[in-house]
Amino acid sequence: MRLSLKDGIALAVYTFTFLLGLPANLLVLFVYVRKARKRGATPNVVYALNLCLANLALVAWLPVKALETLLQDWMLPAPVCPVYSFFLYSSLYGSCLFLAVVMVGRYLSIAFPIAYKQYRRARFSCLISAVLWALVLFHLSISLMAEGGAYFVSTDEDSSACYDRLNPSQLAVLLPLRLEMAVLLFLLPLAVTSFCTLRCVTLVWRSNLRPAGKRRVLAVALSTLVVFVVCYAPYNASHVVGFVLQTNVEWRSTAMLTSLCNVFLEPVV
């Protein structure tokens, strides 16, 4: 079957993301695990490990997405579809939340270095991580319950699709839920990340750091915000537009391609 230009681009993104994201995140995982063993776990290490594990969960299922795109059909057993969807979307929103808490940690370490050093504990960071994962998994559990036993695999003529062709009863549940997820799991973390980034930029610019040190801190802070917006904004915008139009917008799958880029961009920032 001949691929369209859209599917060809998507397949290239899946392949590129897998080839770059897998070794990059395995390397980051190795570095932070080694650091935790030598110096003990710190909040930054805890959040970085969670971010890395979320990326690896996404990378692990990219071959499934690539196979579906290449064959233009869902060839795996139907029960695999909700499992695939669960890991795919939990990793996306998990990464979104952990990027935000990483930026919060950077801001607190710059704005309140003494107080933050006294109160930062790995156990508290683990508790925050558990709460964030519970928040993501709660929303995704509701979305998976909406499928009504069909595993979100729908058949159209001679092909099947996973979590793509949704009926009106499923959309009645999913569209408001997607909007709520876009607000709670994207816009709110974006607001927090933006505030922390701007405060970091202001504090560092006014500090007595050497120019080279200022440039390095500013580059890291601003690049984190750019990755956040570029990777996650288009996909979450499809949630808002879909709710307004009361439909599953066609460009939603295309918008998701930018979200996949976080897999190889986040290890850099």
Full pLDDT tens readout for the chain, 269 residues:
577 878 888 889 999 999 999 999 999 899 988 888 888 788 888 998 999 999 998 898 889 888 888 888 787 887 788 788 888 888 889 999 999 999 998 898 888 888 887 777 888 899 999 999 999 988 888 777 765 554 567 777 677 777 777 778 778 888 888 899 999 999 999 999 999 999 988 888 888 778 887 888 888 888 888 989 999 999 999 999 999 998 888 888 888 889 888 888 877 76
Q: Does domain 5-153+160-265 have CATH number 1.20.1070.10?
A: yes
Task: Please report, for the chain, the start and end positions of each structural domain, with discontinuous segments joined by +.
Answer: 5-153+160-265
The rounded distance, in Å, linking the Cα atoms of 17 and 9 is 12
How far from each other are the two terminal CA atoms of the chain, in whole angstroms?
39
Neighbours of 240 (CB within 10 A): 16
CB 262 within 8 A of CB 231: yes
The rounded distance, in Å, linking the Cα atoms of 162 and 78 is 8
Cα angle for residues 93, 200, 105 (degrees, 5° grid): 50
The rounded distance, in Å, linking the Cα atoms of 140 and 228 is 21
